[in-house]
Amino acid sequence: MSTDSYKTIMDQKADIMRSSVGIDYEKYTTGPLSFDYEAMLNDTGYDLDAIRDIQDRSAVGNTPLVELRNLTELVRTVSEPGKGARLFVKDEAANPSGSFKDRRASLSAFEAKKKGYKGIAAATSGNYGAAVASQAAKAGLGCIIVQEAFDSHGTAQPEIAEKTRACEAYGAEVVRLSVGPELFYYFLIVLKETGYFNASLYTPYSILGIETLGYELAMQVKSREGRFPDVVMATHAGGGNVTGTARGLIKAGAADTLMVAASVDLAGLHMASDRDFNRKSFTTGHTGFSVPFSTWPDRADVPRNAARSLRYMDRFVTVTQGEVFYMTEALAAIEGMERGPAGNTSLAAAFAIAREMDREHIIVVQETEYTGAGKHPLGQLNLAKQMGIDVRRGDPGENRPGKAIVIPEHPSQIKPVEMNLDRIRRSYLRNALDSLPDGENVTGTDIAFLVAETKSDETYVREAIESHERKKR
Amino acid sequence: MTEHAVKNTWVEIGGVVLKKDERAPNLPDDTKQVPLEMRVKGFLVHDAEKGGEADIVTLSGRTVRGILTGINPEYDHMFGRPIPELSPIAGEIRAILRERRKTS
């Protein structure tokens, strides 16, 4: 193993990234703050048809859309008369490695192969690792997955332990690290040593690969029901799922469909804390990723993140760990679908949002994920108990991340908490304005960019700029 | 008694990647107190003892050196015991639907 110091490697970050992703991000800069997002995506050369074809050849996508009739009936037992929308789920567990992440990995594997890389690598502890390993296996590429996997006592998070096993089953090397953001440092060492393609979650390839999910589900609903869904619900972490799905919906013509993001509330737990690591119960789809990535997407491992969720989100809600475990049980008990809990985050939110909507309306939960030892409520709650977390039935409002997992006693108790999108947009704008280089001024191009970034209007952005100036003075 | 592993055995090795004082700035206090550790699996290049130095070839073909931490190591994640707080949920939900179907 290389013994290069932390600083030595981090100083080479830009060069290593450029050669491992093969994108010259600089050329998309259009102003001190702005860049040409659409050009960055278009220049990959893959349009929707090309991506559908590539995914079709690697057995990715075309997953079933399942109407959840019994869950819809359950929604209606706790709704006002005339309310209780029809629930559908896109069964993404039917993808080769068991999650929608295969869509993200497929295009990276294709691009890596085309450009002559010997292998692909990714820094991920979740389903994406298995997806990259699976697509690499099919493409005949080497594969290395770098995981944050265990705490300083050597205790592995059960969901991540299952990912280790799955990646190794697909023939990938898995480097497991203890807790800390220096995972990125080790990842750079691996990229430098191997010359592998960086299958980052945040490249254009990764986001374009998800557009097919939004497109497919829109077309499936349209061909079955004669119209597009009213709401699509996506679990939200780094922003790729929301971004890619919403872009696919727009490409299908479903521009009026509302895009709602849902995350598990993990407020109070520190993402880089060795102690908190095994008290999270969820490794992704939680606010520990979704809030920082919504308010500043360019914190990613590439210079310009292609996942820009604030551009597409119409609403953002959180649910509790207990609510997700409850819905995971419900999906198995009355729909006969045993699926992994993390993927059911958006299902828990959709269940509650369906109560507010008219009976004729359609809400689509856009993913499921596979389940198995470790990636299951039993493995995760057994660890929670071992860590001293209070697991009990009751009002989910009493759920406290890292301290108490409260599992609802009745479906009527499932009530997502609204995230204030205005605050998130303002926080994004503050971060953007803070990144303005000294001596530079915000240009007209920047303003148009910030409007698109926040799905707002010029008045909104100008007010935020003025308020930022006042505070600086 | 040391455990001996022969060449070509599937093993796990590990080591410290960054000592406490070499770690990134701005870590939470608890993480600052411990080193960054690494574990990786592969096939042994030579006979080795558990706890001793070992070289492996990983599944991607890299050669990596570290301390031998496991010989044909177990995947020990599991389902574990049923969770009493979850066990009644299926029955409760089915009862709610039965009740609704009886009355409608």
Domain boundaries, chain A: 6-29+99-203, 54-97+205-418, 421-472
Q: What is the ipTM of this complex?
A: 0.96
Domain positions in chain B: 1-72
**A188 token code pair:** 């750079």
CATH domain B1-72 topology = SH3 type barrels. (2.30.30)
Q: What does the pLDDT read at residue A283?
A: 81
Q: Do the Cβ atoms of A6 and B22 come within 8 Å?
A: yes
From B3's Cα to the closest Cα of chain A, the distance in A is: 20
Closest by Cα among A150, A433, A165 to A296:
A433
Helix (H) or strand (E) holding B95: helix B89-103
Among B57, B59, B65, which would you mutate to test the A interface (most chain A Cβ atoms within 10 Å of its Cβ)? B59
Please indicate whether, in this complex, the C-beta atoms of B15 and A1 are within 8 angstroms of each other.
Answer: yes
Cα–Cα distance, A453 to A376 (Å, whole number): 36
The predicted model scores a pTM of 0.97
pLDDT for B11-66, tens place per residue?
999 999 999 999 998 899 999 999 999 999 999 999 999 999 999 999 999 999 99
- Contacts across the A-B interface (CB distance below 8 Å): 161
**How would you classify the pairing of strands A142-150 and A173-178?**
parallel
pLDDT at A3: 55
Residues 6+ apart with CB under 8 A from B63: B45, B55, B56, B57
Enter the tokens of residue A179.
């807790």
For residue A66, list its beta bridge partners.
Answer: A89
Chain B residues with CB under 8 Å of A143 CB are 59-60
CATH of the domain spanning A54-97+205-418:
3.40.50.1100
From B60, B77, B93, residue closest to A158, measured CB to CB: B77
Q: Which fold has domain A6-29+99-203?
A: Rossmann fold (3.40.50)
Per-residue pLDDT of chain A (473 residues; tens, 9 = 90+): 445 789 999 999 989 998 999 999 999 999 999 999 999 999 999 999 999 999 999 999 999 999 999 999 999 999 999 999 999 999 999 999 999 999 999 999 999 999 999 999 999 999 999 999 999 999 999 999 999 999 999 999 999 999 999 999 999 999 999 999 999 999 999 999 999 999 999 999 999 999 999 999 999 999 999 999 999 999 999 999 999 999 999 999 999 999 999 999 999 999 999 999 999 888 888 998 999 999 999 988 889 999 999 999 999 999 999 999 999 999 999 999 999 999 999 999 999 999 999 999 999 999 999 999 999 999 999 999 999 999 999 999 999 999 999 999 999 999 999 999 999 999 999 999 999 999 999 999 999 999 999 999 999 999 999 999 998 87
Restricting to B residues 3-62, those with a Cβ less than 8 Å away from any Cβ of A are 15, 17-18, 22-24, 27-28, 30-31, 33-42, 58-62
Chain B residue whose CA is closest to A190:
B62
The verdict on a CB contact (< 8 Å) between A329 and B90 is yes
